[in-house]
Amino acid sequence: MRSNREKYKPWIIFGSGFLTLLLMELFPVDGGGVSLIFVISIPVLIGLSIILALIYNWRAKKIEMRWKRNLLFSFSVTLLLVLTFSYFPCSESDSPCPCKVVYKSSEVLVNYRNITYDDLFVEKTKANYPLIISARKKFEKKLPEKIYYVTYDSLPSYSSFKKFAIYVLNDSIKSSNKNLLAEQLPNNNIKYTEVYKSDTISFLGTPNGFARLENEYNGYNDNGYGYITWTKTLPNYEVQIRKEVENDIYENYLFYKFLYWIM
């Protein structure tokens, strides 16, 4: 005789087809062409879940042995789970798969005591999100008011040679780059200088961070949503300074909101 639990199993199979939609809310995904995979995978998985749920509901009524019904149920759910994770768009460059994100996050939690203040300023890639979130939680009472990410790009090779951060903490300018010198100028601006690979790199800022200094930066872009870039072209390097929205990680992705909460 069939138990009352049997009536829920077709709905569980059907619900498994919507797992991709849940994963999209939980984890970051590459934009552009990669995310177009969802246009195909989501309808296919939902359609397949409907078919499998109907098949189970039909066959389960004719199968008397419980282990056979359980086998059919397990096969249906497992198939949907395997297909969901197989077709979830991932990339090794900057969009780890959900399983890797969970594994990386668990590693960070295990080594939580080893997280340093400079981990707040690691390169803001999706692969580093668990570390950044953990650092923001650990130092939540000493978070900078502003963070500017600085990159030295080589003009001949168009590759990034050095990345660091300049930040404002308690109305004081600081940097994660120990070799960067900051000099207060008579006009109240701040001149940053570093001797890097036999070249002297310098650029200007203000006591409150960076502003639109037209005579200093040949490129400036403000998208109106908190993302601002300054660009200065030198003979051998291009200095790029970026300001981003710092709390966007755990505001946009439920997994990182949960990770921040449990720490």
Q: Residue 131 sits in which domain range?
A: 96-143+247-263
pLDDT, one tens digit per residue, over 233-252 is 988 889 999 998 887 787 78
pTM for the model: 0.78
One domain, residues 151 and 139: no
One domain, residues 11 and 127: no
Distant-in-sequence contacts of 222-229, Cβ < 8 A, 24+ apart: none
Asked if pLDDT for residue 114 goes beyond 90, the answer is yes
Q: Which two tokens stand for residue 117?
A: 């203040």
One domain, residues 138 and 150: no
Asked if pLDDT for residue 1 goes beyond 60, the answer is no
One domain, residues 47 and 169: no
> Count of alpha carbons within 13 Å of 124, Cβ hemisphere only?
19
Instruction: Write down the pLDDT at residue 93.
Output: 59
Instruction: Write down the pLDDT at residue 141.
Output: 92
Q: Tokens 């949960």 belong to which residue?
A: 258
One domain, residues 137 and 104: yes
- With residues binned 3-state (H G I as helix, E B as strand, rest as coil), the percentages for the chain, rounded to 5, are 45, 25, 30
Query: What is the amino acid identity at position 81?
Result: L
Asked if pLDDT for residue 174 goes beyond 60, the answer is yes
pLDDT, one tens digit per residue, over 29-79 is 766 566 678 888 899 999 999 999 999 999 888 888 888 989 999 999 999
Query: Nearest-5° angle of CA 46, CA 100, CA 158?
Result: 105
Q: Which of 61, 174, 183, 185 is nearest to 117 (CA)?
A: 174
One domain, residues 159 and 237: yes
Distance CA 179, CA 166 (A): 12
Distance CA 20, CA 234 (A): 46
Beta-sheet pairing, 228-233 with 181-184: unpaired
148: helix, strand or coil: strand
One domain, residues 187 and 200: yes
Cα–Cα distance list, 210 to 155, 162, 200, 259 (Å): 23, 19, 20, 32
Distance CA 226, CA 110 (A): 33
* Ramachandran quadrant class, 76 (left: phi over 0; alpha: psi -120 to 50; beta: rest): alpha
Q: Can you say how many angstroms the Cα of residue 101 is from the centroid of all Cα atoms in its chain? A: 10
The structural domain count of the chain equals 3
One domain, residues 119 and 191: no
Distance CA 150, CA 164 (A): 5
Q: Tokens 């890797």 belong to which residue?
A: 100
Q: How confident is the model at residue 108 (pLDDT cuts 50, 70, 90)?
A: very high
One domain, residues 27 and 76: yes
Radius of gyration of the chain (CA): 25
Phi, psi for 45 (deg, rounded to 5): -65, -40
Instruction: Write down the pLDDT at residue 109.
Output: 92
Q: How confident is the model at residue 89 (pLDDT cuts 50, 70, 90)?
A: confident
One domain, residues 150 and 241: yes
One domain, residues 235 and 164: yes
Q: How confident is the model at residue 80 (pLDDT cuts 50, 70, 90)?
A: very high
> CB-based burial of residue 20 (10 Å sphere; 0-12 exposed, 13-18 middle, 19+ buried)?
buried
Distance CA 72, CA 242 (A): 53
One domain, residues 169 and 227: yes
Distance CA 124, CA 46 (A): 34
Q: Tokens 């200065």 belong to which residue?
A: 232
Quickly list H helices, 160-252: 248-252
